[in-house]
Structure 1
């Protein structure tokens, strides 16, 4: 015979289910706190081809400052202003870092892209983040274009200036925009490369967007230990190595020929007497495990990410 179920058991079951649901929600929500810079960019283009780009970067973190570790722009020339490698990236709410670039392009304006890397130290762990952004045309360029027409046409009469421009414009500018326009939608979204370094683990993480492309990376330590990270669109993949002094991991993508070697950097506050005291508590270990998706894009594949973008662009060109 089955004894009647006690109402207390039902209440306990409901409470347990609620706790499991809350824990699951917390785990799913955790990746939203990944450490990363948040760059934006806009530009104004004059008729003589001079383009002025304004970059702005804020932090994803609301409680700690970071430091800019990487700036790579497709716009020739230096970035002027407060945005520079080594500059402090203030916590969110303390204002952005800004910088400008100016360059004169002879033909169609190419993709104006900035890749920013930053570093944080939180609770004895190193967190590195990297994000890229493509500048968009500004809606507040104003009278910047008015003084530019003089170099484009030497004729004082506006009529002759427009007639040659109108004729080539349909034939010249139309092919220029289709050549650039189809390539943009055709390009897949870029993956996010992340690295987490704790006192006992070095974890490589790749977040592949739903519109990304599949690829794999072979990772080999200086001792010959090899692991493979397979990245599929819409999924997050990771590979971990046991950390020790002198650990170096060489990353080789299947989409490019070059490779990148990343050394392990031990976080501060790791136990000096063998590390046992720092690694034994449950919370740090749990944090490291669930934080694998939190860490922030790394120095990890700084060069690797660039190589991936280059390979992606080459693929688009070959397809076109």
Structure 2
């Protein structure tokens, strides 16, 4: 009799396994699991503003044939000094019933700025799809900040206040006076160039001056530039001082 029952028991075991497999397949394909949302969040510190920039991503999943959905719930909370305060994430908000603005195939990615002293933030959503299926459970994501996002004040770039004055003597030699204003925040790096390859450089501290002499043979054209400026500080054309004419008195002729 045991031999007669053995094939029957084997058949029953195979049938039971098959039923369990089918039940499992039906569970995986159930509407509740096919409709769901996934929320993710990242953050970075904007030191120029002293604010956290949070990026929220919502992915929606639904069976084939379901194309769009709406947020039936969208709640964003930040915590500052132990106090929970609602904030908005533009583009992730509850829409009117019957209006499904978000495609299932495209993630919703939006940014929100939070106070630099926020300690945590979260976003909770529930979706309703265009087949009128409502998400049963909340979908949410949260982030905690281990330190504050402080504003970093960047000092203005250092600037010089260069000035060049050119004078010439009677022999045609030229004196180029280089100055850097007292209000300058860095040294002024001057370059003086003349004709026939003449070049000299000078560094002048704030509130100081120096003079560079240019021989007459190199003074036909003089250009003064400063390292922090795109254009020449000046391209002076030195004028030679006029020599005063003197009359010579001759003795009167004797009669």
Per the TM superposition, whether the score is higher than 0.5 is no
Q: TM-score, normalised by structure 2?
A: 0.44
TM-score by length of 1: 0.36
- Structure (1/2) with the larger strand percentage: 2
Higher RCO, 1 vs 2 (CA within 8 Å, ≥6 residues apart) = 1
Choose 1 or 2 for highest CA Rg.
2
Q: Normalized per residue, which structure has more helix?
A: 1
